[in-house]
Amino acid sequence: MTRAAVHDKYGDPAKVLRVIDVPAEVPGAGEVIIRMEAAAMHIADLRTIQGVPPFAMPLPRSPGFEGIGRIIRVGEGVAASRIGERVFAPLASGTFREEVRCAAEACIPAPEGDAIQLSLMMVNGATAAVILEDYAKFERGDWLIQNAANSSCGRYLIRLAGLAGVKTVNVVRRPELVDEIRALGADIVLVDGPDLAQRVAAATGGAPIKLGIDAVAGAATQRIAECLAPGSTVLSYGSMTNTRCELDFYLMFRNDIRLEGMSFARQFQKLRQPAEVRALYAKLADLMARGVLVAKIAGVYPLDRIVEACARAALTGNERDGKVIITMA
């Protein structure tokens, strides 16, 4: 037997999610069984448990979009030498369980290193990389601006941009975060507010900003847009306020500002071949294993305390202050 978090209806995790004993997974042809080490918890995981469109998935199921572990059993047609191999589980494979069954070819090789940090690679790491690579043609010395700079994706983006020679304006909502984000290598860190555009222009010397990145939504979208050079894009990849993006028509009309939603998985399907996706993941995994990309961790919870972990992950600001990770040890 093995342990798994499951839900057979949608709702409050405290009411519908439970950890139970289930039969050990048996691999079919071309499949492997991964013994999970750690799995990251995202807002999308909570939305999936709650059944919020478009995150609802067929039930019953184990939630969990990503995680890392080792292959412990293989099915017909899979080399026995793969047993013991460390891998990232395929996206949305239900990683809040001790054992995950999946196609062998869908596993991404994982390096040695901190499982807690590496468990965030498939989603947040990929999101940061795609934002930087796919939505503006940056040259060294160019500028981008992002809010939610203290999120794990925001922190990764600061480091990746720095490696590419791209300068970053980083917007946070709490003054106590300024020094912490600056220490990551951020060029400029500002607290959000109605006069954001004026303060950004002063801090950058009026330099044109090629891309705005918004994970807050609501009025924050407009404030990011006001900072951009004409012809630029506001890229929305989240909604920390759980509200709609607000963007003034006349700003779009006068300055040719566009609002675009992004999904790294969709970008992979549109622009990258499987070999390119694996190469990008290999690069990100190496940076994480070497401590170049580091996320702030709010709490690490064993699988049996997953309901408590969900409650922590649902908090915002300094009440959570980092990512929540589930461990299977």
Are residue 160 and residue 114 in the same domain, yes or no?
no
Question: What CA–CA distances, in Å, run from 328 to 164, 312, 324?
Answer: 36, 18, 14
Q: What is the pLDDT confidence band of residue 100, given thresholds at 50, 70 and 90?
A: very high
Indicate whether 280 belongs to any domain.
Answer: no
Are residue 133 and residue 30 in the same domain, yes or no?
no
Neighbours of 93 (CB within 10 A): 23
Are residue 57 and residue 96 in the same domain, yes or no?
yes
Are residue 62 and residue 181 in the same domain, yes or no?
no
Q: How many domains does the chain have?
A: 2
Q: What is the pLDDT confidence band of residue 317, given thresholds at 50, 70 and 90?
A: confident
Indicate whether 271 belongs to any domain.
Answer: no
* Partners of 321 in the β-ladder: none
Are residue 140 and residue 258 in the same domain, yes or no?
yes
Torsion, CA 242, CA 243, CA 245, CA 250, rounded to 10: -160
Are residue 134 and residue 259 in the same domain, yes or no?
yes
Q: What is the pLDDT confidence band of residue 46, given thresholds at 50, 70 and 90?
A: very high
**CATH number for the domain harbouring residue 98:** 3.90.180.10
Range of 206's domain? 128-263
Q: Nearest to residue 65, comparing CAs of 329, 325, 328?
A: 325
pLDDT exceeds cutoff 80 at 329: no
Are residue 207 and residue 251 in the same domain, yes or no?
yes
Indicate whether 270 belongs to any domain.
Answer: no
Q: What is the pLDDT confidence band of residue 209, given thresholds at 50, 70 and 90?
A: very high
Indicate whether 321 belongs to any domain.
Answer: yes
Are residue 86 and residue 142 in the same domain, yes or no?
no
